[in-house]
A and B are shown apart, each in its own frame.
Chain A
Amino acid sequence: MITIDRVSKTYAAGHQPALDDVSIQIDRGDFVFLVGSSGSGKSTLLKLMLREERPSRGDVFVAGRHVNKIPNWRVPGLRRDIGAVFQDFRLLPGKTVFDNVAFALEVIGKRRHDINTSVPEILELVGLEGKERRYPHELSGGEQQRVAVARAFVNRPPILLCDEPTGNLDPVTSVGIMRLLDRINKTGTTVVMATHDDEIVNQMRKRVIELRGGELIRDQVDGTYVREADE
């Protein structure tokens, strides 16, 4: 589903590479934790998959696409196959929960009729039924992140990329989000989650890929994560 083939990424000439000769293979239906301290290159790796950045060297394949080679006009198609969730939720404050989720479908040209059936479905899946008409500022952090997950997944993409989705949440709320992601993964969706939250990683017992200074230092099924002392 996702292949990272000997990828290096250097943002500015002369600087340390953000990723250094990284190769990863992720299959359909996998749940993968991408761990490593801040600055280790986790977000960069996710951005390469989304074609927000391009590798300096190596190749990226996602959902059957040669991501670093496709022309710009095919990037929207790639992104429709990837749901993305971020630490800062990225909701539109002026839109209700329903409209925030519906927006993602509207802008890719889905019919109103389809929107009216799939949005309530997904809101039920993420546990937000009854809160459709609330605005983001009327929700807790955990609920806001559920809206973001709903928006990312409403189009049922085969891949979900999450960049520190629990980074702004307390441990209890984080567990709720993790359960949600696990449930989504059980539907066959490939989930890649960048985090440096060792508790969550150790609870879930999933595949763990660890980066340090842009280098892949561990790829372990059923992995754990021990944070480095400086964090």
Chain B
Amino acid sequence: MRLRLILSETFGGLRRNATMAASVVLVTFVSMLFVGSALLAQQQVTLIEEDIASQVEVDVYLCGEVDTTLVANCAGGGVTDEQESVITDVLENGVVSDYVVDIVRVSREEFYALLLDHDTIGVIASSSAEDFGPVLRIQLTDPSYFAYIEDAVGGLDGVADVTDQADAFAALFAVLRVLTIGSIALAAVMLLTAVLLITTTIRLSALSRRRETTIMRMVGASTFVIQLPFMLEGAIAAVLGALLAVVVIYAGVVMVVEEWMRDLVTWVDYISAPDVLMIAPWILLAAVLLAALTSFATLRRYTRA
């Protein structure tokens, strides 16, 4: 039976070239480790971005006594009730109201209390709640709409300042993105290494079995029957390596992310073990394709008719 022959050739090959098979397993393991980590890093960054995006708000600072001389809109002194109702009306019923999910009003007293809490040098304590205006904390459907809010209310009387909390996170995102791109680049280099090593390995394997393949060609075996054992050899070794990579990544996520980082930094969502299982089939597929395509390209030159 042909299947049995092909399998016995395949496993015979793996046994005879155990060292080569081991090197393919290891190089696939390492490169898939990088590929998997890069994928997860990407997911984690996306999670953090979404998480922060859903939390960041736009703060509209209304005028307090302290702003009178500093801000043009506050020339008339602290914000009046009429001014505030105009501002609130723009936010709740104006064109920008579609982007606004929620408005929380922080009164001057609450705001003053917050400032006092964070005051370490006593400059706040020497002032009073009247010096500050109330704050409107606006949650947007999407933080990128900040500019619309700023346009809509930034020029109104009684508005001292409009700030975007997302600005504070921009640097963090930039760093995360660079790290992600770095991990992808590293994964690409590892993949290239894997391709080169698998090429060399398959070539050596084909050369070491020249005698068999010569006889097979001579007696009229099809190219498929001649090449398939080599491809399967590469694919099996690659799958083993990829499985190893999945196991290690899984263990890594459980131990590093779930057991350690989750308690260390609590304010972000984390990827979890099931996410690893989601990418596992892709890692396996990538490994099989890597090995199959590499051996296909290599074998065309070494066992052709």
- Is B304 a contact of A107 with CB atoms below 8 Å? no
Complex Cα distance A111/B222, Å? 16
Of B212, B221, B225, B226, the contact of A92 (CB 8 Å cutoff): B212
Beta-carbon nearest neighbor of B216 in chain A? A107
**Which B residues from 207 to 263 make CB contacts under 8 A with A?**
211-212, 214-223, 225-226
Question: Does A15 lie at the interface of the complex (its beta carbon under 8 Å from any beta carbon of B)?
Answer: no
Complex Cα distance A151/B218, Å? 11
Question: What residues of chain B lie closer than 8 Å to A72, measured between beta carbons?
Answer: 223, 304-305
A91 to chain B, nearest CB (A): 8
Complex Cα distance A15/B270, Å? 71
Question: What residues of chain A lie closer than 8 Å to B222, measured between beta carbons?
Answer: 73, 76, 108
- Is A76 a contact of B220 with CB atoms below 8 Å? yes
A6 to chain B, nearest CB (A): 25
Beta-carbon nearest neighbor of B211 in chain A? A92
Question: Does B70 lie at the interface of the complex (its beta carbon under 8 Å from any beta carbon of A)?
Answer: no
Complex Cα distance A77/B223, Å? 11
Of B2, B218, B225, B305, the contact of A84 (CB 8 Å cutoff): B218
Of B2, B215, B220, B221, the contact of A78 (CB 8 Å cutoff): B220
- Is A107 a contact of B225 with CB atoms below 8 Å? yes
- Is B223 a contact of A108 with CB atoms below 8 Å? no
- Is A111 a contact of B1 with CB atoms below 8 Å? yes
**Which B residues from 180 to 230 make CB contacts under 8 A with A?**
211-212, 214-223, 225-226
Complex Cα distance A109/B221, Å? 8
Q: Is the interface of A mostly helix, strand, loop or mixed?
A: helix
Beta-carbon nearest neighbor of B226 in chain A? A107
Question: What residues of chain A lie closer than 8 Å to B175, measured between beta carbons?
Answer: none
- Is B305 a contact of A76 with CB atoms below 8 Å? yes
- Is A76 a contact of B215 with CB atoms below 8 Å? no
- Is B214 a contact of A90 with CB atoms below 8 Å? yes
Beta-carbon nearest neighbor of A78 in chain B? B220
Question: What residues of chain A lie closer than 8 Å to B172, measured between beta carbons?
Answer: none
Instruction: Mark contacts of A72-114 with chain B using CB atoms, 8 A cut-off: 1 yes-contact digit, 0 otherwise.
Output: 1101111111001000001010000000000110111101100
- Most chain A beta carbons < 10 A, residue from B5, B219, B304, B305: B219
Beta-carbon nearest neighbor of A77 in chain B? B220
Complex Cα distance A5/B222, Å? 28
**Which A residues from 46 to 84 make CB contacts under 8 A with B?**
50-51, 72-73, 75-81, 84
Count contacts on A: residues with CB < 8 A to the other chain.
Answer: 25
- Is A75 a contact of B305 with CB atoms below 8 Å? yes
- Is A107 a contact of B219 with CB atoms below 8 Å? yes
- Is B223 a contact of A76 with CB atoms below 8 Å? yes
- Is A108 a contact of B214 with CB atoms below 8 Å? no
A104 in contact with B219 given A109-B2, A111-B1 (CB within 8 Å): yes
Complex Cα distance A188/B126, Å? 119
Complex Cα distance A101/B223, Å? 20
Beta-carbon nearest neighbor of B219 in chain A? A104
A151 in contact with B219 given A90-B211, A92-B211, A111-B1 (CB within 8 Å): yes
Question: What residues of chain A lie closer than 8 Å to B218, measured between beta carbons?
Answer: 50, 79, 84, 90
- Most chain B beta carbons < 10 A, residue from A79, A112, A151: A79
Question: What residues of chain B lie closer than 8 Å to A76, measured between beta carbons?
Answer: 217, 220-223, 305
Instruction: Mark contacts of B263-296 with chain A using CB atoms, 8 A cut-off: 1 yes-contact digit, 0 otherwise.
Output: 0000000000000000000000000000000000
- Is A108 a contact of B211 with CB atoms below 8 Å? no
- Is B225 a contact of A79 with CB atoms below 8 Å? no
Complex Cα distance A111/B5, Å? 11
Of A79, A106, A109, the contact of B217 (CB 8 Å cutoff): A79
Complex Cα distance A152/B215, Å? 10
Complex Cα distance A155/B215, Å? 14
A148 to chain B, nearest CB (A): 10
Complex Cα distance A152/B220, Å? 11
A119 to chain B, nearest CB (A): 13
Of A51, A112, A155, the contact of B219 (CB 8 Å cutoff): A155
Instruction: Mark contacts of A151-176 with chain B using CB atoms, 8 A cut-off: 1 yes-contact digit, 0 otherwise.
Output: 11001000000000000000000000
- Is B215 a contact of A90 with CB atoms below 8 Å? yes
Question: What residues of chain B lie closer than 8 Å to A112, measured between beta carbons?
Answer: 1
Question: What residues of chain A lie closer than 8 Å to B1, measured between beta carbons?
Answer: 111-112
- Is B215 a contact of A103 with CB atoms below 8 Å? yes
- Is B225 a contact of A109 with CB atoms below 8 Å? yes
- Is A106 a contact of B220 with CB atoms below 8 Å? no
Complex Cα distance A61/B223, Å? 22
Complex Cα distance A104/B220, Å? 8
Question: What residues of chain B lie closer than 8 Å to A106, measured between beta carbons?
Answer: 2, 5
* A positions within 8 Å CB-CB of B: 50-51, 72-73, 75-81, 84, 90, 92, 103-104, 106-109, 111-112, 151-152, 155
Top 6 nearest A-B pairs by Cβ distance?
A79-B220, A80-B220, A107-B221, A104-B219, A76-B220, A75-B305
* B positions within 8 Å CB-CB of A: 1-2, 5, 211-212, 214-223, 225-226, 304-305
A/B interface sample: 10 pairs, CB < 8 A? A51-B305, A72-B305, A76-B305, A80-B220, A106-B2, A107-B221, A107-B225, A108-B221, A111-B1, A112-B1
